[in-house]
Chains A and B, each alone.
Chain A
Amino acid sequence: MSLINPGFGLVIWMTIAFGILLWILAKFAWPAITDALAEREKSIEEALLSADNARKAMEELKHSNEELLNEAKDQRDAILKEARALKENMINEAKDKAQEAADKIVESARERIESDKKAALVDIKNTIATYSIEIAEKILREELKDKKQQTAYAEKLLKETTLN
């Protein structure tokens, strides 16, 4: 079979061609390619590592941010609570004060009314007394118009006085 009978010329040519191919590629192609690949792999690895680090830092930052936020929230809640308490306090106090003031006003009004009433009563009494005296005077005057009656009355009064 000629198929398994290697041609001498072909073997020689193949050796030469393949030798040259190997030499050229080993000198000009493979080192450049494999070096570039190794270089890139290294840089990718580094990039991945730094990305990982950045992610970790980010996470930390996020974590601290969250903490800060929570703290702020707590603070806000506390302030709000305080403010609410204060407000309630103030309202209550104001209410109390108002009540007090109102009470005082009412009290003083009542007192005033009372005193006014008394004063009015005294006034009325005085007036009534004056009127009664005047009336009595008028009556007496009327009754004691003539001399006879005057004397009678004086006698009567005298009698009464001596009796006492």
Chain B
Amino acid sequence: MIAFFMFISTSAIIAQNDGHETSETDVPWDVEVAENEFKAGEMIIEHITDSYEWHIMTIGHTHVSIPLPIMLYDEGKFHFFMSSVFHHHDTYNGYFISHNDMNAGKLVKSGLDGQEIRPTLDFSFTKNVLAIFISCFIMIWVFISVAKSYKRREGQAPKGLQSFLEPIIIFVRDDIAKASIGEKNYRKYLPFLLTIFFFIFLNNLMGIVPFFPGGANVTGNIGVTAVLALFTFAITTFSGNKNYWVHIINTPGVPWWLKIPVPLMPIVEIMGIFTKPFVLMVRLFANISAGHIIILGFISLIFIFGEIVEGAGYGVAVISVGFSIFMDILELLVAFIQAYVFTLLSALYFGMAIEEAHH
């Protein structure tokens, strides 16, 4: 398995290098066909993982991409350089982009025994970070302008963007916050719920758009979903009242022998505190990534068949594009559903944390 991946990685590196060289020096394309083979798996992983630059498109052999700053802290030293250095060099200061299984796409350097070593801290401003900043900027701009229009058009019917977002805001407020947390306490959690809902929804949608500033797989990145889940976890834990903790330590309605002498229930409940946000993280990540993998898979079919016979590629393209459109529409639905589910479950956890005893 590892050997297989190694093979793929090495051949990919060679292919890439040649690609860059040609674009720079106009050396004729003289790589062996086998090494330039289209590899669907790599292409897909490359598209759904984070990257140090934002690749927009390739025209001929020229790569059009936005270079992004790489920031490393390693062995007591800070390293700052642009990702564009890898257009000319394989390695820079000993660092190179790994194609190995676990670190694929990440910056590593070679250890003494040939192992790839990650830098101590990698703060690089990657594609996903840029995408996150773009979507944050969009959200701030959109919602502050909407808030302004509420002030400007006080007591009047909503208009434009305001009327588009208002039903969604009311949906989050009434069907998620009020329904899960309760009329009394929902107000405190509403800003967070609205923010995660729109953040996830916007990034899911931007992920479907195949070109800049969309195309980054933000909500399909486990780091991003982990942070979102961590926020939910932190809020749940900090707003947990006495009743919530009593429920965990001494669950009512459970036979005593499940608690003493072996505290089985408390252990399960304490695990539950962590599995809840963990599941949130995995669900969002897996759903969004899976959707992207399927779409990219359909697109890959075109090139796989196209490599065998050119005509077959065109033939398959018709079917593949059809399926991709179908998947894209499904993804639109999933974009909303996943944002809804994440927000709803977060709200349910908050509701549980502040529930008063009523037995």
Q: Which residues of A contact B (CB under 8 A)?
A: 1-15, 17-18, 20-22, 24-26, 28-34, 36-37, 39-40, 43
Contacts and interface: CB of A to CB of B under 8 A. Distances in A.
Give me the 7 closest cross-chain CB pairs, A-B, nearest first.
A6-B223, A36-B150, A26-B191, A32-B147, A29-B143, A2-B104, A10-B223
Contacts of A14: 128-129, 132, 223-224, 227
Given A9-B126, A10-B221, A30 B103 contact: no
B221 A6 contact: yes
Contacts of A10: 50, 126, 128-129, 221, 223-224
A14 to B, nearest CB: 4
Contacts of B199: 18, 21
Given A17-B133, A22-B195, A6 B222 contact: yes
Contacts of A34: 169, 173, 187, 190
A22 to B, nearest CB: 5
A7 to B, nearest CB: 5
B169 A33 contact: yes
Contacts of A7: 50, 106, 122, 124, 126, 128, 221, 223
B192 interface: yes
Contacts of A18: 132, 136, 195, 199, 227-228, 231
Contacts of A40: 155
A122 B154 CA distance: 120
Contact of A21 (B121, B126, B139, B224): B139
Contacts of A17: 129, 132-133, 136
B221 A37 contact: no
B170 interface: yes
B312 interface: no
A32 B221 CA distance: 32
Given A2-B45, A33-B143, A36-B151, 8 more contacts: A3-B49, A8-B123, A10-B223, A22-B195, A28-B147, A32-B151, A33-B147, A43-B155
B170 to A, nearest CB: 7
Given A18-B136, A21-B140, A24-B140, A1 B101 contact: yes
Nearest to B173: A34
A15 B101 CA distance: 26
A29 B123 CA distance: 30
A29 to B, nearest CB: 4
Interface residues of B, number: 55
Nearest to B118: A8
A68 to B, nearest CB: 39
Nearest to A22: B195
A30 B147 CA distance: 7
B71 interface: yes
B102 A25 contact: no
B132 A22 contact: no
Contact of A25 (B104, B143, B148): B143
B48 interface: yes
B356 interface: no
Interface string B113-147: 00000000111111011001100100110011011
Interface in B171-196: 173, 187, 190-192, 194-195
B227 A9 contact: no
Contacts of A6: 221-223, 226
Contact of A9 (B121, B136, B148, B194): B121
Nearest to B130: A13
B105 interface: yes
Given A11-B227, A29-B144, A33-B146, A3 B126 contact: no
A29 B169 CA distance: 12
Given A11-B226, A22-B191, A2 B101 contact: yes
A25 B129 contact: no
B166 interface: yes
Contacts of B191: 22, 25-26, 30-31
A9 B170 contact: no
A120 to B, nearest CB: 111
B195 A21 contact: yes
A28 to B, nearest CB: 6
Centre residue among B148, B151, B224, B226 by max chain A CB count within 10 A: B224
A31 B106 CA distance: 41
A30 B187 CA distance: 10
B289 interface: yes
A32 B104 CA distance: 45
Centre residue among B170, B222, B223 by max chain A CB count within 10 A: B223
Contacts of A9: 71, 121-126, 129
